Structure 1
Amino acid sequence: MSKRLFSAFEQKQLESNPNVNHVSDRSISYAADFKVRAVQENLSGKGPMAIFLDHGFDLKLFGSDKPGECLKRWRSVYRASWKREHWSSFFEDLICRRTIKKG
C-alpha cells in the first residue's frame, strides 16, 4: 500500500483510463491486459515510464518510481506464469511421445 492518498478527483481521473480497473484512496488496480502488454513492451526494451505515458497515465499523480515498481512485480508474475505453462506443455509433449512410442 502506498503512503500517498488519492483525492476523489484524482481517483476519477485515474479510473477514466481504460487500463485501470479500480482506484481507492490508496491503491490502483490495473487491467490484466494492460499488465501483460506492459510486461511484453518492457521485455522488448521499452522503459516503464514510457509505457505508462504511452498508455495515458499522468505520472504526476503517483510519481516516477511507480511504473518501475509495478513492472518489477508484473515481470516476476509473468515469468513464473510462463515457466509453469512452458513446463506443463513440455511434460504433456513428453507424455504424448512416450504414449505414442508404446502404442
Structure 2
Amino acid sequence: MTKKFFSEQQQAQLKLNPYVKTVSAKAITYTDEFKEFFIDEYDKGKYPSEIFLDAGFDIEALGPARIRRASNRWRTAYKEHGLTALEDARKHASGRPLERELSLEEKYTRLEAKMKLLEAENEFLKKLDQLERQLIRKKSK
C-alpha cells in the first residue's frame, strides 16, 4: 500500500482552507465543523468527493483513498455514537503527565475514582467466578 504524501505547496494550499485544523506531509486534521458539515451533506445524498469539493478541497491532492477512509470513519463514528464521536478527542487530553503537584482534594478525588474502579472490577471477577462454577456444576451432572 502506497501512502500519498502532501508536497510543501499542497500543505500550504490546504492550510488556507477553513476546514483544516492542521496538515503535515503525511496527515491532515479536519475541523469538527467540517465533519458535521460532511455528515449533513452525506445525509442529503451527496457523494463524499462532492462534499470535499464543495468545501474547497483539492480532490487530486487528497486522493480518493484518503477521502473514502475519512468518510467511512466519520459515518461509522456518527452511527455508533452521534455527533460527539466526530469531535477531536485530542483537544480534551494531551496525554502528557501532569507536572504540577496535586492538591489534597484532587488526590482524594483520584483515589476515590480508582477505588470505585477496583471495586467494580472485583465485583465483575466475583460474578465471573460464580458463573464458571455454575457451568462446571452443569457439566458434571
TM tier, shorter chain?
A: 0.7 to 0.9
Taking the TM superposition and a 5 Å limit, the aligned residue runs for 1:12-91 are 12-82=12-82
1:5-25 residue CA offsets vs partner (Å, 9 max, x unmatched) = 212111111110001000011
Structure 2 stretches of 5 or more lacking a match? 85-141
After TM superposition, the score normalised by the length of structure 1 is 0.72
Shift of 1:64: 2.6
Q: 1:51 to 1:18 in 2, by over 3 A?
A: same
Distance 2:32 2:83 in 1: 18
Distance 1:55 1:66 in 2: 15
Structure 1 runs, 4 residues or longer, greater than 4 Å off: none
Distance 2:50 2:83 in 1: 27
Matched, 1:11 2:45: no
- Which has the greater radius of gyration? 2
> Secondary structure of the equivalent of 2:59?
coil
After TM superposition, the score normalised by the length of structure 2 is 0.54
* Root-mean-square deviation over aligned CA pairs: 1.9
Matched to 1:17, the amino acid is: N
Shift of 1:43: 1.7
Distance 2:64 2:56 in 1: 14
> Secondary structure of the equivalent of 2:61?
coil
Task: Give the paired residue count.
Answer: 83
Q: 1:71 to 1:11 in 2, by over 3 A?
A: same
Asked if the contact 1:36–1:78 (Cα under 8 Å) also holds between the matched residues in 2, the reply is no
1:39-92 residue CA offsets vs partner (Å, 9 max, x unmatched) = 1211221110110000001111021333222111001111122299xxxxxxxx
Asked if the contact 2:22–2:28 (Cα under 8 Å) also holds between the matched residues in 1, the reply is yes
Distance 2:55 2:83 in 1: 27
Q: 1:22 to 1:44 in 2, by over 3 A?
A: same
Distance 2:69 2:36 in 1: 15
